Structure formats: C-alpha cells, structure tokens
C-alpha cells in the first residue's frame, strides 16, 4: 500500500488547515476580565513542549491558531487579541460568523485580530500585552513556542500538532484562564446538545465513516483524516464509528492525516459514509472514476459533500462556538448520506 505520512506543515497547506494572528487597540485592553474564580494559583499545565506555569489570574488573554478564541468568548471573556481566520466565510475583521456574533453579544465592535495567516505576528501579539497565550489547538513548532514564551506563558497542544479534540481544547484553555469549572460545565452542555440533536438521527448510530479530502482537479490521490484529527473525531460524537481500516492506518502515525494513492481506494471498502469537502460535481466525478467509483459509499452516493470554503466546511473542525452554530445543518447533510447506504 502506498502510504505517505505527512508533516503537519505540508498537510496544513494541502488540506486547507488553519493558523492565524493580529494587533491591539485600547478598547480591548483588560477586556473580558470579569472572572470571578476560586482557582488557586500558580497553575501548571502540561503539554507537548513541557510545562507552563501561570503565576496569577490572567487579565489579558491572547489566542492564536484555530478555535482557541472561541473558548474564552464562550465563557464571557473578551480576548486581548486573536488570530485571523484563514478558511471559511469571514467577516471584515477576518472572523467566522459564530465568533463575530459572540463578540457583538459581548459588546465589542472592533476586536483585535492578528493578521498572522502567513506566520505569527510576534510584534502584534506582544503589543496586545497578554498574560497568557492560548494555543491548545495549533501547529506550533518548538521555535514558535519558545518565541511566544518570551511574550507570555503559552498553553500548547497536549500531544500532537493539530490533534486536540474540542473537549481538550476547552478544558486546557479554560483552565489556563482560571475557569476550569466553567469549562467543564461548557463541555457537558455541548455534550448534552449533541445528544439531543443526534437523537433525531438514530440511523447514524454504528455506521462506519471516514472524513476525507479529494482534490477535484486530481483524483489520483486522496487524504484520510485519522481518528486524532478533530474533524474525524467529531463524527464519533454524532454516532458514527471509525472502520477498522482507518484505525489500522492510524497505528504508529504521529500525523492527523495520511495521503493514499487512488490505487489504494480499497482502504475505504468498509466505509458506509464518506464526509469530504466538495459538491455534487465532485461526487459525480468520483462516481465516474475507474478506481474511486468501485467503493460502495461512493457508488451509492453515501457522500456528505461539504462545499469547500463555506461556513459549514469551517465548522467541520469543531470549536466551543461552532458546534451549536451548525450542528443542525451538519447532521442533516450527513443524514442524507446515511439514507443512501445500502
């Protein structure tokens, strides 16, 4: 089997992954510090680069990369600065709809947004005077972590780059800002919401699913997101399961995705439903392909194609705010694919 293990940087570019940054205005200085907390400091948080000690309750909270900002916002804390979005339908500030809506709900018209799509803007991050930098879901390198740590304590991902599930993202980031109990409550609240919503889609229960990426202009290879990827893991929250083939692919891998040649499309033979970025034209092209078209899920049209770059496609990588914003539409799309399983 031709299998290529991808570095986080390569996959980040190839699969439209995320990373972001910004600048600070006085409006946001000390914003969001309405933190009544019983947390005892100092706090020590263990992550992939070691330990981060937060000596006292942070007043200014900066976040970088994808989704981390949604945690303090969901808990009523306005960040001193956040990363600009690099995927999906963004507003004039470079924010996704659910993030922008929460800022407005909290009374902030001009959020500080780091323009760090092409690399971290250390100067802008420093200018926002953070007491802590949240990056529980990110692709930080050791060098980036070290440089950021000269500005403020950094909360990095627990193990692998871009492999922090939404629960850990909430728990780690909430703990860092002295809101562990509130973070735990938020996790339970979202779990309850998911349980209520999926109750209307009992036909998803137990079906085998894979989250993939197919390039419409070149179907000669494709990507499979592994169980440690938040997109793939989110499918299990919705009642779906990983097929044995994908579980085996993940063994020994330190990446969140693998690239396979179309010649190895048999790896998806035990998949009932495929979720991918794309549209009906992509599905038709896959069905017409001499290799991809041999897979039952593709042949039957049991493909939940999410329009690339849409609001829904951005929410496939779940965050504290995106889950409640789009779960109904997401379940409807996957439910349609499930109805075609034979």
Range of the domain at 293: 202-338
pLDDT digits (tens, 9 = 90+) for 250-284: 998 899 999 999 999 999 999 999 999 999 999 99
How many whole angstroms separate alpha carbon 159 and alpha carbon 113? 27
HEC profile for the chain? CCEEECCHHHHHHHCCCCCCCECCCHHHCCCCCCCCCCCCCCEEEEECCEEEEECCCCCCEEECCCCCCHHHHHCCCCCCEEECCCCCCCCCCCCCHHHHHHHHHCCCCCCCEECCCCCCCHHHHHHCCCCEEECCCCCCCHHHHHHHHCCCCEECCCCCCCCCCHHHHHHHHHHHCCCHHHHHHHHHHHHHHHHHHHCCCHHHCCCEEEEEEEECCEEEEEEEECCCCHHHHHHHHCCCECCHHHHHHHCCCCCCEEEEEHHHHHHHCCCCEEEEECCHHHHHHHHHCCCHHHCHHHHCCCEEEECCCCHHHHHCCCCCCHHHHHHHHHHHHHHHHHCCCC
* 21 contacts 84 by C-beta, under 8 angstroms: yes
- Residue 169 is predicted with a pLDDT of 98
**Interior angle at CA 156, CA 151 and CA 159, nearest 5:** 155
* 32 contacts 71 by C-beta, under 8 angstroms: no
175 in the same domain as 70 = yes
pLDDT digits (tens, 9 = 90+) for 50-60: 999 999 999 99
How many whole angstroms separate alpha carbon 132 and alpha carbon 130? 5
Whether residue 2 lies inside any domain: the answer is no
210 in the same domain as 64 = no
Q: How many domains does the chain have?
A: 2
| pLDDT value at 216 more than 70 | yes
| pLDDT value at 112 more than 60 | yes
Residues of the chain with pLDDT > 90: what percent? 88
Asked if omega into 59 is within 30° of 0 (cis), the reply is no
331 in the same domain as 207 = yes
- Residue 252 is predicted with a pLDDT of 84
161 in the same domain as 17 = yes
Q: Radius of gyration over alpha carbons of the chain, in Å?
A: 20
Whether residue 197 lies inside any domain: the answer is no
Whether residue 6 lies inside any domain: the answer is no
324 in the same domain as 212 = yes
Average pLDDT over residues 189-212: 97
165 in the same domain as 20 = yes
Whether residue 307 lies inside any domain: the answer is yes
* 12 or 186, which is more confident: 186
Whether residue 24 lies inside any domain: the answer is yes
255 in the same domain as 170 = no
Query: Looking at residue 87, which CATH number applies to its domain?
Result: 3.40.50.1980
24 in the same domain as 159 = yes
| pLDDT value at 18 more than 90 | no
Assign 295 a pLDDT band (cuts: 50, 70, 90).
very high
Averaged confidence pLDDT in the chain: 91
- Residue 235 is predicted with a pLDDT of 98
pLDDT digits (tens, 9 = 90+) for 114-149: 999 999 999 999 999 999 999 999 999 999 999 999
272 in the same domain as 234 = yes
Assign 294 a pLDDT band (cuts: 50, 70, 90).
very high
- Residue 4 is predicted with a pLDDT of 40
- Residue 338 is predicted with a pLDDT of 97
pLDDT digits (tens, 9 = 90+) for 217-250: 999 999 999 999 999 999 999 999 999 999 999 9
- Residue 37 is predicted with a pLDDT of 52
Whether residue 4 lies inside any domain: the answer is no
**Interior angle at CA 273, CA 268 and CA 275, nearest 5:** 95
334 in the same domain as 213 = yes
- Residue 35 is predicted with a pLDDT of 43
- Residue 15 is predicted with a pLDDT of 57
Cα dihedral sign, 165-166-170-171: negative
80 in the same domain as 53 = yes
Q: Which of 145, 166, 190 is the last residue of a domain?
A: 190
**Sheet of strand 218-225: strand arrangement:** 3-5, 257-261, 218-225, 209-215, 273-277, 303-306
Assign 38 a pLDDT band (cuts: 50, 70, 90).
low
Distance of CA 320 to the CA centre of its chain: 10
Q: Which of 190, 222, 255 is the last residue of a domain?
A: 190
Whether residue 5 lies inside any domain: the answer is no
- Residue 154 is predicted with a pLDDT of 98
Whether residue 196 lies inside any domain: the answer is no
Average pLDDT over residues 189-196: 98
Q: At what angle do helices 166-176 and 230-237 cross, to 10 degrees?
A: 110
240 in the same domain as 158 = no
| pLDDT value at 68 more than 50 | yes
């Amino acid at each position: 089997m031709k299998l290529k293990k991808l570095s986080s940087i390569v996959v980040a570019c190839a699969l439209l992954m995320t990373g972001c940054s910004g600048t600070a205005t006085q409006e946001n200085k000390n914003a969001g510090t309405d933190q009544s907390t019983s947390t005892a400091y100092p706090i020590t948080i263990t992550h992939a680069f070691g330990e981060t000690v937060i000596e006292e309750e942070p007043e200014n909270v900066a976040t970088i990369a994808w989704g981390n900002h949604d945690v303090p916002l969901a808990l009523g804390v306005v960040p001193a600065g956040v990363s600009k979005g690099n995927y999906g339908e963004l507003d004039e500030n470079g924010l996704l709809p659910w993030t922008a809506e929460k800022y407005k709900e909290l009374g902030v018209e001009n959020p500080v947004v780091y323009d760090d799509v092409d690399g971290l803007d250390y100067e802008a991050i420093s200018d926002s005077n953070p007491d802590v930098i949240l990056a529980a879901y990110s692709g930080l390198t050791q060098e980036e972590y070290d440089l950021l740590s000269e500005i403020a304590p950094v909360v990095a991902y627990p193990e692998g780059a871009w492999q922090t599930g939404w629960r850990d993202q909430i728990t780690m980031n909430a703990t860092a800002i002295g809101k562990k109990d509130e973070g735990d409550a938020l996790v339970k609240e979202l779990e309850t919401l998911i349980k209520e919503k999926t109750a209307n889609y009992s036909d998803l229960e137990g079906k085998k699913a894979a989250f993939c990426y197919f390039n419409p202009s070149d179907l000669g290879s494709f990507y499979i997101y592994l169980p440690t990827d938040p997109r793939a893991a989110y499918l299990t929250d919705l009642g779906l399961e990983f097929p044995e083939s994908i579980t085996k692919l993940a063994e020994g891998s330190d990446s969140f995705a693998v690239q396979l040649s179309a010649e190895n499309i048999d790896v998806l033979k035990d998949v009932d439903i495929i979720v991918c970025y794309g549209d009906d034209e992509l599905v038709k092209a896959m069905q017409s392909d001499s290799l991809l078209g041999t897979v039952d899920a593709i042949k039957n049209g049991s493909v939940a194609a999410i329009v690339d770059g849409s609001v829904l496609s951005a929410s496939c990588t779940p965050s504290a705010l995106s889950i409640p914003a789009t779960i109904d539409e997401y379940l409807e799309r996957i439910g349609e694919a499930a109805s075609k399983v034979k």
